[in-house]
Amino acid sequence: MKPIKAFAPAKVNLTLHVTGRRDDGYHMLDSLVMFADVGDRISVTQSDVTRLKVTGPMAAGVPADSSNLVVKAAELMGISADIRLKKFLPNAAGIGGGSSDAAATLRALSLLSGQPVPDNVLSLGADVPVCLAQGAARMQGIGDRVISVPGLPMLHAVLVNPMLPVPTARIFERVENHENPPMPRGLPTGVTAAELIQWLATQRNDLQEPAIAAEPAIEQVFRILEVTPGCLLARMSGSGATCFGLYTGAETAASAAGRLQETYPGWWVAATRLNSVS
Ligand SMILES: C[C@@](CO)(OP(=O)(O)O)[C@H](O)COP(=O)(O)OP(=O)(O)OC[C@H]1O[C@@H](n2ccc(N)nc2=O)[C@H](O)[C@@H]1O
Ligand SMILES: Nc1ncnc2c1ncn2[C@@H]1O[C@H](COP(=O)(O)OP(=O)(O)O)[C@@H](O)[C@H]1O
């Protein structure tokens, strides 16, 4: 039988406002999310038992057992499958690699079986609902409320990770101020890329400060990125350590990525487009 293939793009939190904390410890968020054109690749084939093979340049450190979110996604759908996962995204990096893999697996298994994607995907992780949406979206609640944001321009970005895995829970634990303002009710749609970036500069990632306190190397990445020619805004994505730079165009982004990779060969660097639709 022919395998069903799916792409699992990197998720980028252009903003990430922490607006509260629930009694169970989970944080309330307000985040504008877009997806990159770099990501992991999944393929699934029907099988009597679930098997997983993880390959690719970023496979090191990714579990290949039942703790992998792609296996959990198959379990959630009650389907056994032979799953191949090719990792191109660094893991524990704030760009939702595992969540995006899970969402891609759910989509692929739905195509394979004809079964709909289940409603309760939040049990796989707070980032899975937004990764299922895949287009530009506003994510609220603990990640369970996803509102599609049409009309955003495509953005040229560079993603940089110093190959320092950062466990998400560790960063949320360090947040001192839980009651921060959300983004404005209306987001700027129908604007140019430069106008969107200007607006983004007035917003925040409330996890950036606690992440830098936990891993000071993140500040170094951020400072290096923000002074590259053509960079209009630099910020951390998710709980880190990946930082993104937004650029004036494809050429400045590609040139910054090339220079950074040359200067820091141990870092993961990717020039990419953030797309408003999948
Ligand atoms: C911070 C974000 C922003 O998009 O991204 P990443 O940095 O993981 O990419 C997400 O909210 C992460 O989503 P995800 O990585 O799926 O989180 P989960 O596995 O559900 O939770 C990991 C841990 O993070 C904390 N957590 C997560 C989400 C949330 N709204 N509040 C929290 O406090 C909890 O301590 C939880 O045990
Ligand atoms: N398919 C997967 N890819 C990467 N990590 C995974 C996967 N499934 C489970 N994990 C586990 O999830 C943790 C968080 O990984 P990831 O989703 O890449 O990071 P983040 O939540 O920071 O975006 C990893 O440390 C790893 O142990």
- Give the model confidence (pLDDT) of 230-250 as tens digits: 999 999 999 999 999 999 999
Least confident of 168-172, 188-192, 248-252, 268-272: 188-192
Catalytically active residues are: 11, 127
Same structural domain, 80 and 166? no
Looking at the structure, tell me whether residues 198 and 87 fall in a common domain. no
Domain at 75, CATH number: 3.30.230.10
| Domain co-membership, 50 together with 155 | no
Query: What pLDDT shows up at residue 11?
Result: 98
Read off the pLDDT band of 213 (50, 70, 90). Answer: very high
Output the pLDDT for position 269: 98
Query: What is the residue range of 266's domain?
Result: 150-274
For position 278, what pLDDT does the model report?
Answer: 53
> Residue 240 CA: which ligand 2 atom is closest?
22
pLDDT at 276: 75
The closest residue, in CA terms, to atom 36 on ligand 1 is 169
Burial of 1 (0-12, 13-18, 19+ CB in 10 A): exposed
Percent of the chain with pLDDT over 90: 96
State whether 47 and 95 are in the same domain: yes
Report the pLDDT value the prediction gives residue 32, as an integer from 0 to 100: 98
pLDDT at 189: 85
Nearest atom of ligand 2 to the alpha carbon of 239: 22
Q: Provide the pLDDT for residue 236.
A: 98
Q: List ligand 1's pocket residues with C-beta within 6 A.
A: 13, 16, 25-27, 29, 31, 94, 96, 99, 125-127, 142-143, 168-169, 172, 238-239
Nearest CA to ligand 2 atom 24: 92
Interval 99-103 mean pLDDT? 98
Ligand in closest contact with the CA of 146: 1
| Number of domains making up the chain | 2
Confidence of residue 108 (pLDDT cuts 50, 70, 90): very high
Per-residue confidence (pLDDT) for residue 134, from 0 to 100: 80
Cβ atoms of 129 and 140 within 8 Å: the answer is no
Q: Which two tokens stand for residue 139?
A: 């994510």
- Please answer whether residues 273 and 156 qualify as being in contact, where contact means their C-beta atoms are separated by less than 8 angstroms: yes
Dump pLDDT digits (tens) for 78-98. Answer: 999 999 999 999 999 999 999
| pLDDT for 2 | 86
Tell whether 137 and 69 lie within a shared domain.
yes
Residues 256 and 203 both lie in one domain: yes
Q: What residue numbers does the annotated binding site for ATP cover?
A: 90-100
Give yes or no: residues 133 and 18 share one domain.
Answer: yes
Instruction: From 141, 166, 192, give the residue that closes a domain.
Output: 141
What percentage of the chain carries pLDDT values higher than 70?
99
The total of other beta-carbon atoms located within 10 Å of residue 63's CB is 14
Give residue 277's pLDDT band: very low, low, confident or very high (50, 70, 90): low
Backbone angles phi, psi at 204, to 5 degrees: -140, 165
> Separation of 19 CA from ligand 1 center, angstroms?
14
CA distances from 169 to 25, 125, 158, 166, 226 (A): 10, 12, 25, 9, 27
